[in-house]
Amino acid sequence: MRFGTDGIRGRANAALTPELCLKVGRAVARVVGGSTVAVGRDPRHSGQLIEAALAAGICAEGVDVALLGVVPTPAVAAFAAAEGVAGVMISASHNPAEDNGIKVFGPGGTKLSDEAQDQIERAISDEPWSEPDARVPTGAAVGVLRPVPSVLEDDQRRLRAAIEGRRLSGLSVVLDCANGAASEVAPAVFAELGAATMVLNASPDGMNINDGCGSTHPEGLCDAVRESGADVGFAFDGDADRVLAVDRTGRLIDGDQLLAIAARDLKERGRLRNNGVAVTVMTNLGFRKAMAAEGIVVVETPVGDRHVLEAIDREGLSLGGEQSGHLIFRDLATTGDGVLGAVVIADILTRTATPLDTLADSAMTRLPQVLRNVTLAERDPSLLERVRDEIDAATRQLGDSGRVLVRQSGTEPMVRVMVEATDAQVAVSVAEQLVDAVAAAHR
């Protein structure tokens, strides 16, 4: 299995080799290619290497490549939706600069289904193009590269249009761009919408992406918001498909809280389709309680914004997301979009003239949640079954006042342990018990 929770990911030029990327390009072209595949990348140093190999594979199958350059992941999805083509984003999201990855969007800009991913994996493994008598395009039938220089301008226009002509005048904002794909787009959009904007970490050099900054390291943003007296701060990840916020006191506001704010706002304005919101199993129990109090239906999915989007479309919803900050406003985008989420939340602050801390506190009460990661020497598919008794015992111990979730990571050899409880000390104790049980079972 090469596809994880969010595409193919690994150490660039080691696990993610040019040879593999060439095969992925050919497989993508065969399974979802059509006449053109759009390819974008974040500013990682290895991005051009992977782009070259991937594009070569696509062109070798007689499919053209629309080269989008350095753009946020949602810009690739938006271009694919607008042009009716498949898309590929080269990024390892919040991972360190040494890693890279490949995310694939089908025609129309949505993440691939499990079936389509399986087809691509089979095509990679089968390698039918390696046979001496294989029919391959030649001459004018070979695909070509077509640079698309207007993508960032088009994306900024799309993001500005999301708030229907309103402005963010009077709002002071700090943006942490993670030295990633949001570095040009986010500051431009907020400035054009009239916000007083301070920008952090928007000077990518290929190796500083996510390095002590962005949504995985928001401490600097918290300090900057508090010290500058700004109204709000937003932190993006490396490819800008997710966002976390910071209120005026310097407190971090996670994806669950942002989703609760957005859900209530959409409901009040009659725009929460089918009165529901899609979230993952990681979503805080406090969110579920808050939505129940508002009469909003919660649809639960496995981890991954791809699963959230599938639930949104299946149930006819307009909103969904993850605690990590993937926010999907389905009437405005086909995927999680960090800059769009920031613009929407900033618009709510401006329209309601209400500080983010007040909105967050009134939208939901976040139950204490403890997250622990257990790093494995290698993937261990049967590990969770071997600790099933311990997981069941922890669940019984918490009863209705808490929740336990133990799962294999979809991107790394790691088990993730989550425990929620009304008492923070109880949550810590139960989480540590489960971590010890997992580690012992893996030895």
User: CATH number, domain at 426?
Assistant: 3.30.310.50
Does 31 score more than 70 pLDDT? yes
Q: What is the mean pLDDT of residues 51-55?
A: 98
**Tens digit of each residue's pLDDT (9 = 90 or more) over 282-338:** 899 999 999 999 999 999 999 888 899 999 999 999 999 999 999 999 999 999 999
Q: Which of 135-149, 160-174, 294-308 has the highest mean pLDDT?
A: 160-174
Q: Report how far residue 3's alpha carbon sits from residue 112's, in angstroms, rounded to the nearest whole number.
A: 10
Q: Do 175 and 300 lie in a common domain?
A: yes
Q: Report how far residue 341's alpha carbon sits from residue 162's, in angstroms, rounded to the nearest whole number.
A: 10
> Which pair of tokens denotes residue 107?
């025609």
Q: Do 384 and 339 lie in a common domain?
A: no
pLDDT score of 4: 66
pLDDT score of 33: 84
Residue 156 is assigned to a structural domain of this protein? no
CA distances from 118 to 30, 40, 121, 143 (A): 13, 23, 5, 24
Q: Do 237 and 328 lie in a common domain?
A: yes
Residue 294 is assigned to a structural domain of this protein? yes
Residue 117 is assigned to a structural domain of this protein? yes
Q: Do 194 and 318 lie in a common domain?
A: yes
Residue 21 is assigned to a structural domain of this protein? yes
Report residue 1's pLDDT band, with 50, 70 and 90 as the boundaries: very low
Q: Do 175 and 125 lie in a common domain?
A: no
Does 134 score more than 70 pLDDT? no
132 contact partners, CB below 8 Å, separation of at least 6: none
CB 75 within 8 A of CB 334: no
Last residue of a domain, one of 151, 180, 211: 151
Structural domain count, the chain: 3
Does 424 score more than 90 pLDDT? yes
pLDDT score of 228: 98
pLDDT score of 248: 98
Q: Do 282 and 315 lie in a common domain?
A: yes
CA atoms within 13 A on the CB side of 436: 8
CA distances from 372 to 180, 436, 439 (A): 27, 11, 12
Residue 159 is assigned to a structural domain of this protein? no
Q: What is the mean pLDDT of residues 7-27?
A: 94
DSSP state at residue 214: G
> By residue range, what is the domain housing residue 355?
167-363
Residue 2 is assigned to a structural domain of this protein? no
Q: Do 298 and 260 lie in a common domain?
A: yes
Angle 301-307-312 from CA coordinates, rounded to 5°: 85
Report residue 97's pLDDT band, with 50, 70 and 90 as the boundaries: very high
**Tens digit of each residue's pLDDT (9 = 90 or more) over 364-413:** 999 999 999 999 998 888 999 999 999 999 999 999 889 999 998 876 78
Q: Do 275 and 348 lie in a common domain?
A: yes
Q: Do 305 and 419 lie in a common domain?
A: no
Last residue of a domain, one of 363, 394, 416: 363
Q: Do 244 and 348 lie in a common domain?
A: yes
Residue 160 is assigned to a structural domain of this protein? no
Last residue of a domain, one of 97, 116, 151: 151
Does 126 score more than 80 pLDDT? no
CATH number of the domain at 100, please.
3.40.120.10
CA-nearest of 47, 64, 46 to 55 is: 64
Q: Do 137 and 259 lie in a common domain?
A: no
Residue 157 is assigned to a structural domain of this protein? no
Q: Report how far residue 327's alpha carbon sits from residue 178's, in angstroms, rounded to the nearest whole number.
A: 18
Q: Do 278 and 315 lie in a common domain?
A: yes
Residue 362 annotated among the catalytic residues of the structure: no
- The catalytic residue among 35, 46, 91, 93 is 93
